Amino acid sequence: KAGVTQTPRYLIKTRGQQVTLSCSPISGHRSVSWYQQTPGQGLQFLFEYFSETQRNKGNFPGRFSGRQFSNSRSEMNVSTLELGDSALYLCASSLRTLDYEQYFGPGTRLTVT
Amino acid sequence: KNQVEQSPQSLIILEGKNCTLQCNYTVSPFSNLRWYKQDTGRGPVSLTIMTFSENTKSNGRYTATLDADTKQSSLHITASQLSDSASYICVVSALTGGGNKLTFGTGTQLKVEL
């Protein structure tokens, strides 16, 4: 069974731009969640989607948004990029909810200059 | 406020030695506790997931313990190998009326040397 895939793996953007990251979950998994990881803050939860609906949300500004498609694939969008948005963005999928085991993708390394 | 604290922050051990990582949490209502291993530049990989009623769970050379009364967990690594060098992250799940909430520790950076 294929694992969670994320594209692109690396990205360089400039301040003020916007970016869209993509995540394909494990086949059969309906929950997709997104996380930001930085050396200073560690892993932080962004949001979770299930059946195309946002079910849980972390404490991030509205510049961070996401969506899920009918095939469970998910995208995350960050608008008006700031230098502090430089991070590793991880996507994870699980069968049903965050309470189930999470399977993480390799992440997208975003650098904002 | 829900918190997960891990100690030590970093650790260096010799190959073949054992080590124990600690995780203390103040998350409620508690649902489960997970340990993840994250190699540099890769996504975390689940090692164990423990519910309230489980005291010990093993995954090969990794053994996690949970004391729900004192809200403490430990991850014991036996006969360490160079490939165990990674960040180990403790995550606690709470099941609230608003849905599941995950609280992450900042991790213990383990380095295994020859």
Cα gap A74→A46, rounded to integer Å = 13
- B63 — contact with chain A (CB < 8 Å)? no
- Residue B106 main-chain phi, psi, to 5 deg: -85, -5
Q: What is the pLDDT of residue A4?
A: 97
* Residues B38-61, mean pLDDT to the nearest whole number: 93
List the single residue in A with minimal CA-CA distance to B108.
A42
Structure token digits, residue A106 = 């390799």
Q: What is the pLDDT of residue A56?
A: 86
Q: pLDDT tens, A33-87?
A: 999 999 888 899 999 999 999 988 888 999 999 999 999 999 999 999 999 999 9
Question: Using DSSP, how many helices (H) and how many strands (E) does chain A show?
Answer: 0, 11
Q: Is the pLDDT of residue B98 over 90?
A: no
Convert chain B into a string of H (helix), E (strand) and C (coil): CCCEEEECCEEEEECCCCEEEEEEECCCCEEEEEEEEECCCCCCEEEEEEECCCCEEEECCEEEEEECCCCEEEEEECCCCHHHCEEEEEEEEEEECCEEEEEECCCEEEEEEC
Structure token digits, residue A46 = 């962004």
- Do B105 and A42 make contact, defined as CB atoms within 8 angstroms? yes
* Residues B94-100, mean pLDDT to the nearest whole number: 77
- Do B43 and A97 make contact, defined as CB atoms within 8 angstroms? no
* Amino acid present at A57: K
Cα gap A5→A1, rounded to integer Å = 12
- Do B46 and A101 make contact, defined as CB atoms within 8 angstroms? yes
- A97 — contact with chain B (CB < 8 Å)? yes
Cα gap A25→A113, rounded to integer Å = 30
Q: Is the pLDDT of residue B81 over 80?
A: yes
Which chain B residues are within 8 Å of A109, Cβ to Cβ? Answer: 41
Q: What is the pLDDT of residue B1?
A: 79
